[in-house]
Structure 1
Amino acid sequence: MATAKKLTDNHLTCVICTEVFTDPATLECNHTFCKSCLLKYTNTQPDAIQAKCIPCPSCRQPTKVTNPDSPVEEWVGQLKPSHVIQGLMDDFGPGAEAADVNNCSVCKQQGKTTPATSWCSVCDDVFCDGCLKMHNMMPMSRDHEVVDASNATKRKSKHRFMCKTHKDKQIELFCKDCRMAICHTCCSIKHRKCDDVDSLDSMTPFVREHLSNQNQELKIKMTTSENKIIFRKSQITEINSKVQNIKDDIRKSRQAVVEVILRKEKQLLDKVDRSSDEQLHALQAEIKSQEIEMQMYQQQYEFTANAVTSNCKRDMYAVYESVRVASTDIRDTDNKPAPGRVVFTHDMDKLRKAVNDLQLGEVAVVRGVSDRQSTPVLHHTIDCEADGDKEDPLLWDVTVLSVDGINVTVVADYNNNSLKTCYSSKPNTHVNQLLLSDWPSHIAKLSESQVAVSVPWSKQIVTVNVTPEPVLLSTIKTSKEYYALAYLSPSQLVAGTYGQSHSVDILDMTGKILKSINTGVIGNPDYIHVTSNNNLIVSEGRVNSLVSVTCEGEAVFTYAPTGDRALTVPWGVTTTSTGDILLVDRVSHKVIQLTESGQFVRDILTQQDGLSCPRGICLDGDGFLYVTCDPYVKVFTFVQSVHNQIT
């Protein structure tokens, strides 16, 4: 029961509906689905319907249909399950358990339901004990092989391969032209015009070997699909993490803007307080002055009133004289300017426009380079000039590391005999350099903190730790002048030299040659890149070619187009996460995109994008493309459309 459940869960379940197959159908790619699920999926793929094929929901491989003019329902209806799937369905699918407990076929014809105990391999019928005695007494069936009906494994091994058309005829032939197992009657009637018919016994080893090979291919495809699923899941995790970081950055931008507004508000409020305090102080002083004057006037008024009502002329004239003199001394205070008023002037239309024009930042849908609808946009430019440079930098190669969360661009500067690391920590950009014995050629990324650098004229390969400053770790002495360099495994490097028949060597980390590889038309490799499946991609400007070979030296493809597409000094090369190849064509000022098999896709970067004599190229983990254009590294991103500004 456990085996049956395991088979049902792992091999007899439709990946679309996640249920046990109902009327299964197997496509040319050997993936199997319920016919109803496959029909629903096909109806959602207008491109496939227009192309008259059934797309596989798992691997997207199309399956040709026998009658393209018929409705889609008939396309799917004509599909049959593979023999393996059908056999598993018969043995372990729904109803298989009940099928093991069949009723006697003879009793069944008499309307009885007697449990069967035996099965005849010739008659392919089940019998109860009583009917089995009759079966064994009959002259034509007494010699038939009979086994226990409950032993499903033995029944299957003894089951005769009978023709579905001529049910009493055993299948003993195989028509290679029609790829069908047939009986002698079928051969004489339906396959008379076929040229190649062989016996089933002679074909069985071939079929078994073919199915075994096919099973190995399926196993590889299953592993590939599993790896793709793991990769996509990691992408989902990465996207969710980046989305949260972007949201946090947007909130920080908003907070920064709010802090600026609050600061401006405080400045205005403080100015209002200062201005109003000055006015209030002046007015309070004026009131105090007026109160003093009013007291003086009050005293003078009382003194004058007493003099007027007095009968003493001397007192009256004395007051009169003093009042006249005092009147001439009183200053005219009515001409003092009125105190100013605090006024707040604002233009709401202007304010609204300023707020509407405010940009918290930009949000763009960044696509992978492999997305053929993506558009390149120059993200930023890195100036690799360092203090102490004797000449303008000439950048031969580039790679990008992630050191403690900091993206560090590493370049080989030919003119200044140095390896440089460039990184930003706000508000500054830092360029550090490690002086080498001679000019560096190529960089191989060993890890996120270490690189290897070829120094051909000194017959050296140096390893460097990036902290993010470059620190020399070791110097590997080599027997040849190696120019091109790439990372193959933790213990192996791939290096290219000039002027030898086997121009690419696989080295260990001591510089020992483990194997030499012939790269065909390329005798002087300029750049080497190792793909995700450990194939080598080698470019050479002298023969204007790009070659891909396995680590065993077997040719994969050669890209050497002619005419308008002819290469003009192909140099730097890298690959995307999907296997696409990006090739620098130096003299034509381009970066060319090829498929994994070396087919032209498009010119993704040209001189119109700001490229001028590019050399090295690499991609970082975020999909940014780095291209050296002396003395700069130009960094491009690929977006779905023009940036959507948030307002």
Structure 2
Amino acid sequence: MASKYKKLTDKHLSCAICTGVFTHPATLQCNHTFCKSCLLKYTKTRPEAIQAKSIPCPSCRQPTKVAISDSPLEEWVSQLKPSHVIQGLIDDFVPSTQAVEDINICNVCKTQGKTTPATSWCSICDDVFCDGCLKMHNMMPMSRDHEVVDLSDPTKVRTRRCFMCKIHRDEKVKLFCKDCKQAICTICCCIKHRACKDVETIESMTPLVKEHLTNKTEELRINMENTKNYIDLRKSTIQNIRSNGHKVKDHIRKSKETLVEVILKKEKLLLVDVDEFCNNHTQKLQADITLLENELQVCQQQYESTATAVTSNCEMDMYAVYESMGEASTDNRDMDNMPSPGRVVLKHDMDKLSKAVDELQLGEVEVVHDIGDRHSPPVQHHTIDCKVDDDTCDPFLHDITVVIVDDIKVTVVADCDNNKLKIYYSSNSKSFEKHLPLSDYPWQIATLSGSQIAVSIPDRSEIVTVDITPDPVLLSTLKTNKQYCALACLGPSQLVAGTYNDTVDILDMAGNLLRSINTGVIGSPDYIHVTRNNNLILCNEEVHSLVSVTNEGDDVFTYTPTGDRTLICPQGITTTKTGDILLVDETSNSVVQLTESGQFVRYVLQEQDGLQSPNGICLDSDGLLYVTSDRYVKVFKFC
């Protein structure tokens, strides 16, 4: 038991500056806690903080503004809000540290100079006894009816401890003042709480306090999970930046191989630019990780103390934590609003390089942002005209996807009016177009693995699978029992498909029905998209809403905007790497960006950006946005 108390003080009740138990602990705005005297000494060594009228955090450097900046420096720290939770733990546990070490020694024998091991504890006397002294204790008329607990069960010992008043040590706590949010004895009630209007018995308040602490424990657990997610996301972003940097370097080297030796010097300059970008951004993200790990440690401390109070069933512990907790703010950070880092791309013109060797530029290192960076505006990158000579009518492009085949980016478009899949790809500065005739009009494209896709053909009750090699090759035609329109890939061996008759089905790769799910508002989706969490997002042009459910049919959110943002004819759906949702509204000629939880962010594209009757939408691995517009595919980058 002594080791547990030592662990509590060493890990949770010690100041990071002086390494001793907190003396007058104060918590900064960043939630880090230090001794007030230690903060004062530290602030005196930071003239820039004194000039800024703030107290810097020794752990994360985040400044905490002082309330009265005109007061002397010595009073700045005294203005900080004290940490009641930590002070309460110190009051309860630290003074009794020495007693904890001797808790197994009979107190009666100890007065006689003996060190007899104690075996029992009296909850009324709050004393420990050996077997012999316990017999004497039980024979005395004043103590024979006391409740005695075996010391071998420490949980029961803590549960049976009397809840005594901190001011009147001999009085039990029997009341709770709601006005002051304090557990009190009857003497406290008569003397200090006479003006209070709302006082309840401790018995009636205990279930409410336990419920509050249980909810607080859950909030802390969620905060811990969110913080871990923030850390994981930043670590993943660092890997993506490094991978992106290596990819750009490869392009630079491939360009270099086709040029003369004189360009090697310029190649090195560009590589330095790439390294500088990667290093700068990874350092910033690593600093974020350090900050979040510190916050996670504080959150874990609060979680452990609160959870211990709840699970111990000890009223004294619960009220100690409850009274000291105050109205602690929960984590309101929105992971959806985390800025997305830019990526490096290489802009080069091989013809220009060949013609002007002396003034040769291998390329330019440019930071191109992802659409997840919500402050980045779109700029049209290029346009694909999907009208070909053997088309019987103007194309109606219902869906689009992009796959990578042998390092070649391939754009696949479903042309409903001409009953074709049209494939566009470029290699060595040349563009090529292929097409694959289908039995009827294609509806939605589901990207499978690698270069393979699946396409729904509802009027034929078919789902075809195609391999892009990069030429399209028809692999199989699955005959289904229903006319499936919307189609998406749920996993390596499952598809999710929507029909005309108000069902959403989970299919295997042979087209067999595995199960059906209820999606609530939308029964017959025009489009289905599967998120990174394997949730489903659905829309229908007749239902002015966007619905998200789990793959078991449980509600996630429903987006039904009103006013100027009302959805008129929602169509294509895709998501960014950070989870943001992009939704096409065909009638309003716009693309809407939402958070992963279904909150409006902005209009990414509108009619003034050249959109006309958009339907399909997708993002490629480089963050370029593809949107169908009449007979064209318009591609946008974000600067």
* TM-score category, normalised to shorter length: 0.5 to 0.7
Q: Distance in 2 between matches of 1:146 and 1:171?
A: 20
Distance in 1 between the 2:202 and 2:533 partners? 42
SS at match of 1:160: coil
How is 1:26-65 mapped onto 2 (pairs within 5 angstroms)?
33-35=32-34
Could you tell me which residue of structure 2 aligns to residue 269 of structure 1?
A: none
Instruction: Return closer, same or farther for 1:608/1:508 CA change in 2, 3 Å cut-off.
Output: same
Query: What letter matches 2:426 in structure 1?
Result: S
How far is 1:369 from its partner? 1.8
Q: Does the 8 A contact of 1:25 with 1:32 survive in 2?
A: no
Q: Which region of structure 1 is more displaced relative to structure 2, 249-258 or 443-452? A: 249-258
Partner of residue 78 from structure 1, selected from 70, 75, 82:
82
Equivalent runs, 1:474-553 vs 2, <5 Å: 474-498=476-500, 500=501, 502-509=502-509, 510-512=511-513, 514-520=515-521, 522=522, 524-551=524-551, 553=553
8 Å contact kept, 2:560–2:567? yes
| Corresponding residue of 1:433 | 435
Match of 2:373 in 1: 371
Specify which of 236, 239, 242 is matched with residue 237 of structure 1: 239
Counterpart of 1:631?
Answer: 631
Percent of aligned pairs with the same residue?
Answer: 53
Q: Distance in 2 between matches of 1:191 and 1:532?
A: 58
Quickly say closer, same or farther: Cα 1:457–1:363, change in 2 above 3 A.
same
Alpha-carbon offset, residue 456 of structure 1 = 1.0
1:457 aligns with 2:456: no
Q: 1:255-281: CA deviations, max 9, x gaps?
A: 75644789xxxxxxxxxxxxxxxxxxx
Give the alignment of 1:399-414 within 5 angstroms. Answer: 399-414=401-416
1:197 aligns with 2:196: no
Q: 1:600 is matched with which residue?
A: 600
CA 1:397–1:3: 2 relative to 1, 3 Å: farther
Q: Distance in 2 between matches of 1:236 and 1:573?
A: 27
1:458 to partner: Cα distance: 0.9
Give a deviation string over 1:82-109, Cα, whole Å, max 9, x none: 89x949x978x999698433699989x9
Q: Residue 368 of structure 2 aligns to a residue in which SS?
A: coil
Whole-Å separation in 2 of the counterparts to 1:379 and 1:6: 63
Contact 1:35 1:77 in 2 (8 A): no
Structure 1 pair 10–245 and aligned structure 2 pair: CA distance change class (3 A) = farther
- Would you say the 8 A contact 2:505–2:513 is kept in 1? no
Could you tell me how far 1:168 is from its partner in structure 2?
A: 2.3
Once residues 380 and 80 of structure 1 are traced to their aligned partners in structure 2, the CA distance between those partners, rounded to angstroms, is 61
Conservation of the 8 A alpha-carbon contact between 2:461 and 2:481: yes
Choose 1 or 2 for highest CA Rg.
Answer: 1
Q: 1:550 to 1:251 in 2, by over 3 A?
A: closer
Partner of 1:453, secondary structure, is strand
Provide the rounded CA distance (Å) in 2 between the counterparts of 1:174 and 1:479: 67
Q: CA offset at residue 159 of structure 1?
A: 2.5
**How many residue pairs were aligned?**
522
Distance in 2, matches of 1:68 and 1:199, equals 43
State the shift of 1:216 in Å. Answer: 5.5
Other structure's SS at 2:85 match? coil
Matched residue of 2:484: which SS?
coil
Q: Distance in 1 between matches of 2:158 and 2:117?
A: 16
**Native 8 Å contact 1:487 1:530 kept in 2:** yes
Please say if 1:571 is aligned against 2:571. yes
Cα distance in 1, alignment partners of residues 159 and 401 from structure 2: 61
- How far off its partner does 1:395 sit? 1.8
- Residue 397 of structure 2 is aligned to residue 395 of structure 1: yes
RMSD: 5.4
Amino acid of the structure 2 residue aligned with 1:576: T
| Cα distance, 1:117–1:517 mapped onto 2, change above 3 Å | same
The letter for the 1-side match of 2:411 is T
In 2, are the aligned partners of 1:39 and 1:73 still within 8 Å (CA)?
A: yes
Is the contact between residue 116 and residue 149 of structure 1 (CA under 8 Å) also seen in structure 2? Answer: no
- 1:128/1:564 Cα in 2 relative to 1: closer, same or farther (>3 Å)? same
Corresponding residue for residue 101 of structure 1: 102
Query: Does the residue aligned with 2:234 lie in a helix, a strand or coil?
Result: helix
User: Does structure 2 conserve the Cα–Cα contact (< 8 Å) formed by 1:442 and 1:484?
Assistant: yes
Q: Is the 8 A contact 1:102 1:116 kept in 2?
A: no
Separation in structure 2 between the aligned mates of residue 6 and residue 197 of structure 1, nearest angstrom: 36
Letter in 2 for 1:229: I
Q: Which runs of 5 or more residues in structure 1 are unaligned?
A: 45-49, 263-353, 640-647
Q: Partners of 1:94 and 1:584 in 2: how far apart?
A: 65
1: CA distance between counterparts of 2:69 and 2:532?
A: 39
Gaps of 5+ in 2: 47-51, 265-355
Maintained 8 Å contact 1:16/1:33: no
